[in-house]
Copies of this chain bind each other. A is one copy, B any other.
Amino acid sequence: MPIVDIHTHIYPPAYISLLKSRTTVPYIRTFPDAPNSPRLIILPGENDPATPSTSRGRPIGPEYHDIAAKIDFMDTHKINISVISLANPWLDFLPESEAAETARRINDDINDLCSKYPGRLYAFGTLPLSGSTGEVIAEIERLKSLKYMRGIIMGTSGLGRGLDDLSLDPIYAALQSTCTLIFLHPHYGLPLSVYGPRASEYGHVLPLALGFPLETTIAVTRMLLSGVWDRFQNLNVLIAHSGGTLPFLAGRIESCVAHDGFLKSEGRGEGGRRAVWDVLKKNIYLDAVIYSKVGLKAAVDASGPDRLLFGTDHPFFPPLEKGAEEWASVNTNYQAINEAFGDEEAAKGVLGGNAIRILKLNNE
């Protein structure tokens, strides 16, 4: 059974050019004291000279944009197939006039990268969400004509007002009717104030370890509360980082909805909506990027062994030692799968079988 990585990012040539042409987040820049070391500045808190621990973003090397480096990485870790996706923040920041054309160019770029390694690469496309709704829907439909596309990757801001925005309904409708999977991925984190006055002493840890999964959890819960899956019962979403924290908190969310005085008064408490558990088992897929047996088992208990999909988050979390071949972050995820499932059939599904079935990767 092949191993499939469904959470692995790439900045294709068209996107690298875009980031280099910019002077505000997100962008690629150098600093005067290191003119040959380009840095990628993408997170909201990464542009503040007052926090030297994070103000320079991260070094950006070939692993970010060179598809040959991706294939090397796959070979090192015995990954047969990767479903690549543009990394955050995608096209969220583009002016309306540039969104549609840029999305087409980047999606074509990524599809071309896949065509260079037949059978080894597929992709999630990117939507021009700052464009018009018509342009977004047109790109959803156009992606169906690109041979290697298997869904779209999307952040939590939607059209700027989050994923519970009713203006997204025509887009959700188009995604559902074209059977396009959403890969939901965080980027914006939480307001930096929540990390307190010592946050800069902890590098990127709080925004990455907590901000990302907590942002995801809030976004999905808002979708649940606004009834997205009541209106679009066949809309499928693959949630990054094993659902943020949704598997762990699903019971608390259910209980709080059922007990809420206001929702009860509106008839939206216990009945009149699909339960979180029902959506988890019918509409939600989870990646296996949670770095522990504890998290994986909770993810599978919540959604099912046929709904969990291996991922690496490459090229983020590079090897711990300079020049090391193997990536500790990837091996931690492999080890967690081994500890959680051993030789059980479920392990094969998580490592590749589920992705092949769900994303139709044998169906060129």
Seen from chain A, the residues whose Cβ lies within 8 Å of a Cβ on chain B are 53-54, 58, 161-162, 164-165, 190-191, 193-198, 201-206, 208-210, 213-215, 217-218, 221-222, 225-226, 241-242, 245, 247-264, 269-270, 290-295, 297-298, 301-302, 317-318, 320, 328-329, 332, 336
A190: chain B residues within 8 A (beta carbon): 190-191, 194
State the number of copies, please. 2
A253: chain B residues within 8 A (beta carbon): 205, 209-210
17 residue pairs from A and B, CB less than 8 Å apart:
A194-B218, A201-B226, A203-B261, A204-B262, A205-B260, A209-B253, A210-B214, A214-B217, A241-B252, A242-B248, A248-B295, A255-B291, A255-B332, A259-B318, A259-B328, A269-B320, A294-B302
Which 5 residue pairs spanning A and B have beta carbons closest together? A251-B292, A203-B262, A251-B291, A209-B256, A248-B248
The reply to whether B297 and A293 contact each other, CB–CB distance below 8 Å, is no
Given A198-B226, A251-B332, CB of A218 within 8 Å of CB of B210? yes
A interface, over-half SS: helix
Q: B245, B258, B269: which contacts A248 (Cβ < 8 A)?
A: B245
Given A258-B328, A290-B252, CB of A161 within 8 Å of CB of B270? no
- Quick one: closest B residue to A327, CB to CB? B259
- Tell me the bound Cα distance from A203 to B241 in angstroms: 28
CB distance from A327 to the nearest CB of B (A): 10
- Tell me the bound Cα distance from A229 to B203 in angstroms: 19
The reply to whether B260 and A290 contact each other, CB–CB distance below 8 Å, is no
Q: B206, B245, B295, B320: which contacts A225 (Cβ < 8 A)?
A: B206
CB distance from A60 to the nearest CB of B (A): 13
- Quick one: closest B residue to A52, CB to CB? B262
The reply to whether B251 and A245 contact each other, CB–CB distance below 8 Å, is no
CB distance from A264 to the nearest CB of B (A): 8
Given A190-B190, A222-B196, A253-B210, CB of A329 within 8 Å of CB of B164? no
Centre residue among A190, A217, A264, A292 by max chain B CB count within 10 A: A292
- Tell me the bound Cα distance from A248 to B294 in angstroms: 6
Centre residue among A164, A202, A328 by max chain B CB count within 10 A: A202
A318: chain B residues within 8 A (beta carbon): 259
The reply to whether B294 and A213 contact each other, CB–CB distance below 8 Å, is no
- Tell me the bound Cα distance from A255 to B164 in angstroms: 31
List 17 other contacts, CB 8 Å, given A203-B261, A205-B225, A252-B291.
Answer: A53-B262, A54-B262, A191-B191, A191-B193, A194-B215, A196-B222, A204-B260, A205-B221, A206-B221, A206-B222, A214-B245, A217-B245, A245-B248, A248-B248, A259-B328, A295-B298, A297-B297
